[in-house]
Structure 1
Amino acid sequence: MPLARTTAALAVTLLALAAAPEAAALPRPPGVATAEAPRPATVTVTGEGSATAEPDLAVVTAGVEAVAKTPQKALDAQNKAAAALLRAAREQGVADRDIRTESVSLNPVYAYPDGTSQLKGYQATQTFSLKVREVDRTGAVLQALTDATGTAGRIHSVTFDVADPGPLRARAREAAHRDAHAKAEQYARLSGHHLGRLVSLTEGPTGSPAPVPPAADAPGGGGAGVPVAPGEIRATATVTAVYELY
């Protein structure tokens, strides 16, 4: 009978262990580390890319300036010249939404004939920015502004750009990604590995679309009027990519 009871108790213990296998796991002795799979080698590369496009927008900064003996006369002369500038811009097809006053000022003008200041009059100025959405009409717009304002007119700058920089930036990012992948493939081959999965991708500083300086002998364009050279617009992008090697 004692032997039968012992056999039954052993059978019950075995069934309990089978039902709860985690209970059969023996505790790991202190100081024994679990073996970990070796981490794969990685390669980190930086990709650079750029894309260009023809400008479809010209931003003209122009203004008027008038000097007179009194503040009111200076303002009157400035107002008349500014009205002529705005009228000429609208006649050239520049929409009201694309015309913005950038600054207005009225300042005294002094002379120093004998080392002491003498008030000569007042100078009134106003500056505008105008978006010309037909780039080939930029020269004609510049000429019209100059003709309308005469000696009071001032042309400060002309900048060419793209109205929607999104697609241009996207193409620059694609070029940067291709460059990073090509570099990673080369490093994998040189080190006797194969290129694995992409672990991380970080975008670096992205250059805003900017005009590319035209060549010195670039032909002038911009339609009839003041010759201009629109050139092209370039966007740049950089990415840092980490790939596994196997």
Structure 2
Amino acid sequence: MGYSPNSAGTLASATDNLIGVRNLGLAIADPLIGSTAPKTPQILEVTGKGEVSVATTLTEVQLGIKVEGKTATAVQEQVAQRSTAVVDVLKKLGAKELQTISIQLNPVYSYENGTQTLTGFEGLNTLQFELPTNQAGAAIDKAIQAGANVIQNISFTASDEVLQQARLQVLSEAVKDAKAQAQAVFSTLQLTPGQIIDIDINSNDNPRPSPFVSNLITDRVSTTPIIGGSQPIKASVSLDIGYSPISGVILDLPLNGLQQFA
């Protein structure tokens, strides 16, 4: 069979078609190969916060009985007698959580021309108790009349029941805040939220206010006014939420980076 221009054209056409099919086969195979690669989890992390203030209705008081004298025995006896009198008064007033938190007995020295001389001893017992804030002032006055002469510390707090309710409330508010943030992001970016993958809770009760620290009482007049305040309770909750794009939706994002390929 002889060669002819028509047969040459037919061969070239067939070759072109074969190359086209091969190229098409590669184009089809590529996405199949890519689809077998593991997908990176898509996670949105949001942190919500909650805060509430509760009234402080309880007062915790630390009172000291301080005595100075020539001998350790004499000082300790006086401290013990006065401490017993103060404890009796506080018990009659209905003080709660009454306890001794510190007992000290120390020598006292004088220094002259580089010489140390023992001049006596100093004893200090510290008691701690709790009362409703509206009763604390009168209790302090009566304890001082019985022998206490140092206010070590006063702090305020709410009751355990109120604190527990407040902690639950701020946790609920923190979760709602985190969910609202997530919903805003998902809605704006047209994403479908999935399961909550992880939850992290961080709560914080701020320190109680302490208006008095280590004051030696030398004279008392009238009733000591004790006024409580408020105690902030805070919490934060972090959520890791899985998500996926809504099927068939193309996000309206800037395409500046793709213009070079146009």
Q: Same fold (TM over 0.5)?
A: yes
Within a 5 Å distance, the mapping from 1:56-75 to structure 2 comes to 56-75=57-76
SS in 2 for 1:112: strand
Per the normalisation by structure 2, the TM-score is 0.68
Separation in 2 of the partners of 1:190 and 1:225?
A: 62
SS in 2 for 1:230: coil
Query: 2:48 touches 2:178 (CA, 8 Å); kept in 1?
Result: yes
Q: Cα deviation per residue 1:160-216 (whole Å; 9 max; x = unaligned)?
A: 113313222111211211121122122223333354443321113x213533689xx
What is the CA-CA distance between 1:47 and the residue it aligns to? 1.4
Within a 5 Å distance, the mapping from 1:141-160 to structure 2 comes to 141-149=139-147, 153-160=149-156
Query: Cα gap change, 1:233/1:42 in structure 2, threshold over 3 Å: closer, same or farther?
Result: same
Any unmatched runs of 5+ in structure 2?
Answer: 1-31, 212-221, 246-262
What is the CA-CA distance between 1:146 and the residue it aligns to? 2.0
Separation in 2 of the partners of 1:68 and 1:188?
A: 75
Q: Cα deviation per residue 1:113-147 (whole Å; 9 max; x = unaligned)?
A: 33311101011111111011x22111111222222
Where does residue 9 of structure 1 map in the other structure? none
- Aligned residue type for 1:153: N
- Equivalent residue pairs, number: 201
Any unmatched runs of 5+ in structure 1?
Answer: 1-30, 215-223
Where does residue 207 of structure 1 map in the other structure? 204
Separation in 2 of the partners of 1:42 and 1:121?
A: 71
Separation in 2 of the partners of 1:52 and 1:187?
A: 30
Where does residue 254 of structure 2 map in the other structure? none
The alignment yields a C-alpha RMSD, in angstroms, of 2.7
Query: Cα gap change, 1:76/1:40 in structure 2, threshold over 3 Å: closer, same or farther?
Result: closer
Where does residue 45 of structure 1 map in the other structure? 46
Separation in 2 of the partners of 1:43 and 1:105?
A: 57
Query: 2:93 touches 2:139 (CA, 8 Å); kept in 1?
Result: yes
SS in 2 for 1:227: coil
Query: 2:155 touches 2:210 (CA, 8 Å); kept in 1?
Result: no
Separation in 2 of the partners of 1:181 and 1:32?
A: 37
Please tell me whether residue 94 in structure 1 is matched to residue 95 in structure 2: yes
Separation in 1 of the partners of 2:142 and 2:182?
A: 55
What is the CA-CA distance between 1:42 and the residue it aligns to? 2.9
What is the CA-CA distance between 1:228 and the residue it aligns to? 2.0
- Percentage identity across paired residues of the two chains: 22
- Aligned residue type for 2:204: G
What is the CA-CA distance between 1:32 and the residue it aligns to? 6.2
